[in-house]
Amino acid sequence: MLFRLLRLILILALVISAPPSFEAMAQALGQGSAGLITDQQKVIQGLTAKTDDLEKKIQQDGEDDASLVDIRLQLEDLSRAALTSALAFRSRLTDINNRIEVLGPPPAAGQPQEPDIVTGERQALASEKAEINAVVAAAQNLSIRINGLIDKIGNMRSALFRNLLTKRYVLSDALSPQVFSDAQEEYANFYKAVSSWLSFAFKFKFQAILAATFVALGLALVLLVGGRRLFGRVFEADPSNEDPSYLSRLSVAFWSTLLPTLAVGSFLGSTIFFFNYYNVLRGDIGLFLNALATAIGVIFCVNRLTNAALEPRLPNWRLIPVETGPARWLVRLSTAMAVVISVNTFLSVVNDKMGSPLSLTIARSFVATIVVGIILILMAMLRPFKARDGSWRPWPAWLRYLALALGLFTIIAALLGYIGLALFVSLQVVVTGTALITAYIGFLSARAIGEEGAFANTSVGRWLSTNSSYEDTALDQLGLVVSIAINLLIVLVFLPLILLMWGFQPGDIQAWAYKLATGINIGSVTISVTGILSGIIVFIIGYFLTRWFQGWLDGSVMARGKVDTGVRNSIRLAVGYAGVALAGLVGISAAGIDLSSLALVAGALSLGIGFGLQNVVSNFVSGLILLAERPFKVGDWIVAGDVSGTVKKISVRATEIETFQRQSVILPNSNLINNAVGNWTHRNKLGRLDIKVGVAYGSDVKQVHAILLEIARGHPMVLKNPEPFVLFSNFGPAALEFEIRVFLADVMNGNIVQNDVRFAVLEKFSDQHIEIPSTPRAVIETKHAKAWPTDDDKIEADFAEQEQAKADAAAEAKRAAKPRKSRKPDPD
């Protein structure tokens, strides 16, 4: 109650203080919203009218699969437009809901009345919200209706495809003599149409025809010649190479098929494009020319593929180890099959456009499928391999039976009247089989290039090795990248072709590509390939920008400023870690991943990270402390426990120390933070050396002191200030002990100074006959073991003789020790 009273007082204060501006603001917002509502209502009305027209068109073109696909694409555009119209009110609805929440609910009965202006604003907001909700509901209903039409189109297309494969035709009419007269009439009409167009084109469009043809031919030549220059040896087989590698054969077969086919396809496609651009083609002639170009492309591709894989002229370059005679027959039969299917496809377009009788269409398809079936059976019956004894061997059983099954199935289906099914199988055998074989050869070539050391043996790899500084490891990694690129190229080129051959329309591929690019919904998760690629590209750009900035900052800024090496290393590492982290965050955001959704995952993993990775986290934090406090830097001489050496690298997890034996020791940063670490070169390289010297008792200690002090002062590396000092340190058990204490500007030269001083001490003491005592060594006598006897029989006999003598002696002593019995005297 108190809260409501305070809110009422606040509203009254605002109204009293600025009523004109408040009313003006509410009026302006209402007018802006009204205009938005009016505009979106007009948009939805237009979308509804277009939807009605497309629904009528669905009923009219329900038998044309391509037309249905085009209608579906238009409906999908309308659906997206309707959703966009509904989303246009999102920000306004948010403002209205926030404003209503601020105003609060109307006062209940018995409570003080609110001002009229507040009541009026609440009613205006509620009315505006109702109007917006009505427009949004209309847009949503329209989107639902459009989705229903899209589902209907999908069902209609499925029914058309099933009808195409399962429809049975009566062959009696198709095989009647009337078919021949219909064919002659059809040919006459086709010839008349083409001749009339040719006369028109050469009379009025001759220059345009020449220009279009030459431009298309130039594009094809550029592609062909450029491909030859770029790929060189992998374009054509080298007859002089008697033993080409498997990778070379794969590459030649793949590229010698793909590049000429692309060149021919670009010539045909660009010719038709420029003919349309210059208005050379009529509607019917355009269809005929498109069908003819497709037929020529298929025949050329099949012929190139079979020649590249079988190489009838060069047995050493064959991918399949068949004999020369069967290889020629396989090329001829494959090309004949492609010719039959292509001619049939071209004639089907002509029949559809010319309105040919159904009997003629059935007869044409029947003959084509029978011929294809016979060719498949002939291929299966070939014996392409020769055994060692000279006998001919057939194909492997699975391949032979598969070809026989396809050939018999096509013939039987055609004889039973299922012309559509037989024609579909024939078309897939030729076109899809060609595409799959070419793609398979490409995959094998990519896998061979990606193997270790294979890319360096190619012509491109040898050229890079000669003309660049790439090492074998870099070339091997580059070969892996090339392998991945070839695989992607094959998928992007051949997957759409195969889908088109299986009855899908270009509109289907376009719709799938759009969904794949904009996002695929899996539950509540949206996966966008475009977003993921964008995120990866953004991260890579950020990563390389960070590395470039690190190098520029270190080499151009800090190096010119004579910044200490340790400081430069710390700043460079900090900039690197910050830049990579920033690039990762920007890349994740560019990929469309909501970072707030990772909060739950991070919270769930925090406990496990705390226990399982506590050492890693401890080392990471210790590394940050080392980089910030800098108790030592790169190049310092430190002593950490038993490890003594020069600091080479400080990272966030561990520090690399190189000992004076050139051993690299990796110490975790937590050890360097928690334990004592000695740094000889912390602030400067000034340091003191202590060299111990012992002399014999009885020596003149004053003379020894003077000699040692003279030696210390005479060394060039010893500082004069602080001056050297000689300490008489102790009366030792075997010597009088002295210490030479000298200071060096660079303590890293300590070993050199110690070495020089000790040599000088020995030389001076020898000249002055001063003795350096040494601890006497204990003399250890070495006991030599008795030699192992060499005559075992003699030793055994001597041992038996000694034992026998001992036994006799013991028996004799026993008898001697035995008391004698005394004889009793005779009785008197």
pLDDT in tens, 382-430: 888 887 777 888 888 888 888 888 889 888 888 888 888 888 888 778 7
**For residue 665, what are the β-bridge partners?**
657
- CA-based torsion, 455, 461, 462, 464: positive or negative: negative
CB 528 within 8 A of CB 592: yes
Give mean pLDDT, residues 81-91: 79
- Strand pairing of 654-659 and 643-650? antiparallel
Task: Give the pLDDT band of residue 448 (cuts 50, 70, 90).
Answer: confident
- Band of residue 759 on the pLDDT scale cut at 50, 70, 90: very high
Contact in structure between 712 and 757 (CB atoms under 8 Å): yes
Residues contacting 297, CB < 8 A, separation 6+: 261, 264, 265, 268
Distance, CA of 554 to CA of 575 (rounded, Å):
10
Crossing angle between the packed helical segments 433-450 and 246-277, to the nearest 10 degrees: 130
Please state, in angstroms and rounded to a whole number, the distance separating the CA atoms of residues 84 and 591. Answer: 22
Q: Does residue 72 sit in helix, strand or coil?
A: helix
Phi, psi (degrees; rounded to nearest 5) at 690:
-115, 120
Quick one: DSSP state of residue 697? T
Residues 6+ apart with CB under 8 A from 283: none
Q: Which residues of 452-470 are buried (b: 16+ CB within 10 A; e: fewer)?
A: eebbbebebbeebbeeeeb
**Per the structure block, which two tokens stand in for 516?**
């794949």
Backbone angles phi, psi at 238, to 5 degrees: -95, 110
Q: Give the burial class of 606: count Cβ atoms within 10 A of its Cβ; 0-12 exposed, 13-18 middle, 19 or more buried.
A: exposed
d(CA 72, CA 150): 6
> Could you tell me if 765 and 707 are in contact, meaning their C-beta atoms sit under 8 angstroms apart?
yes
The stretch 336-362 carries a mean pLDDT of 82
**Nearest to residue 447, comparing CAs of 472, 491, 477, 480?**
480
Tell me, what's the pLDDT at 20?
Answer: 40
Structure-token pair, residue 786: 């008795």
The pLDDT, as a whole number, for residue 823 is 44
> Averaged over 169-192, what is the pLDDT?
76
Question: For residues 256 and 229, what is the distance between their CA atoms, to the nearest angstrom?
Answer: 13
pLDDT at residue 441 greater than cutoff 80: no
Confidence of residue 818 (pLDDT cuts 50, 70, 90): low
- Specify burial of residue 740 (Cβ count, 10 A radius: 0-12, 13-18, 19+): buried
CB 187 within 8 A of CB 354: no
pTM of the model: 0.52
At residue 28 the predicted structure's pLDDT band, cuts being 50, 70 and 90, is very low
The reply to whether omega before 776 is within 30° of 0 (cis) is no
In 88-205, which ranges are continuous DSSP H helix? 90-103, 116-166, 171-174, 178-204
Task: Give buried/exposed letters for 664-688 (b at 16+ CB in 10 A, else e).
Answer: ebebbbbbbbeeebeebbeeebebe
Strand blocks (E) in 670-778: 678-679, 687-695, 725-731, 736-744
202 pLDDT higher than 60: yes
Q: What is the CA radius of gyration of the chain?
A: 49
Question: Which amino acid, 36?
Answer: L
Does residue 4 or residue 764 have the better pLDDT? 764
Residue labelled with tokens 């000669």: 466
Helices then strands (H, E): number in the chain?
A: 26, 12
Taking residues 225-239, report their average pLDDT. Answer: 62
The 3-state DSSP class for residue 559 equals coil
pLDDT number for residue 742 = 92
Residue 704 reports pLDDT greater than 70: yes
- Calculate mean pLDDT across residues 467-482: 74
**726 band by pLDDT with thresholds 50, 70 and 90:** very high
Pick the residue with more confidence: 419 or 475? 419
204: Cβ contacts below 8 Å, ≥ 6 apart:
none
CA-closest candidate to residue 703, choices 771, 757, 756, 759: 771
pLDDT in tens, 499-546: 666 656 555 556 556 566 555 555 555 566 666 777 788 888 888 888
> In 3D, which of 249, 264, 344, 250 has the Cα closest to residue 303?
264
Q: Give the pLDDT score at 19.
A: 40
Query: What's the confidence (pLDDT) of residue 8?
Result: 45
Residue 778 has pLDDT above 50, yes or no: no
Half-sphere exposure in the Cβ direction for 660 (13 Å, CA): 10
CA pair distance 141, 792, nearest whole angstrom: 115
- The CA-based angle 325-329-331, given to 5 degrees, is 115
DSSP secondary structure letters along 47-58: HHHHHHHHHHHH
d(CA 351, CA 360): 8
- At 385, the amino acid letter reads F
Dist CA 53 CA 399 (whole Å): 52
What are the two backbone dihedrals, phi and then psi, of residue 198, each rounded to the nearest 5 degrees? -65, -40
Q: What is the pLDDT of residue 795?
A: 65
pLDDT in tens, 101-122: 777 777 777 777 777 777 777 7
Under a CB-based contact definition with an 8 Å cutoff, are residues 652 and 577 in contact?
Answer: yes
Q: Mean pLDDT, the chain, as a whole number?
A: 76
Nearest to 365 by CA among 163, 157, 160, 168: 168
Q: Is 762 helix (H, G, I), strand (E, B) or coil?
A: helix
Q: Is residue 693 very low, low, confident or very high in pLDDT (cuts 50, 70, 90)?
A: very high
Mean pLDDT on 593-610:
58
Q: Is 468 a residue whose pLDDT tops 50?
A: yes
Question: What residue type is 156 in one-letter code?
Answer: M
Q: What is the secondary structure of 489-524 as a DSSP string?
A: HHHHHHHHHHHHHTT--HHHHHHHHHHHHH-EEETT
Could you tell me which residue, 477 or 371, shows the higher pLDDT?
Answer: 371
Among 629, 258, 649, 304, which residue's Cα sits nearest to residue 443? 258
CA distance 162 to 157: 9
The stretch 613-620 carries a mean pLDDT of 70
Tokens of 330: 């396989």
Q: Strand order in 643-650's β-sheet?
A: 664-668, 654-659, 643-650, 637-640, 678-679
DSSP 428: I
Interatomic CA distance for residues 828 and 197, integer angstroms? 185
Tens digits of residue pLDDT in 557-580: 777 766 666 667 767 777 887 888
> What pLDDT does residue 185 have?
79
For residue 11, give the nearest of 1, 22, 2 by alpha carbon. Answer: 22
Nearest partner of 191 among 201, 203, 202, 183, judged by Cα: 183
- Alpha-carbon distance of 712 to 722, in angstroms, equals 12
Q: Which residue has the tokens 């710390």?
A: 570
- At 7 the pLDDT is 47
Cβ contacts of 405 within 8 Å, gap of 6 or more: none
Residue pair 737/775 in contact (Cβ under 8 Å)? The answer is: no
Tell me the range of 379-383, 485-489, 619-623 where mean pLDDT is highest.
379-383
Of 639, 643, 645, nearest in space to 659 by CA: 645
Predicted pLDDT at 761: 92
Largest CA distance in the chain: 191
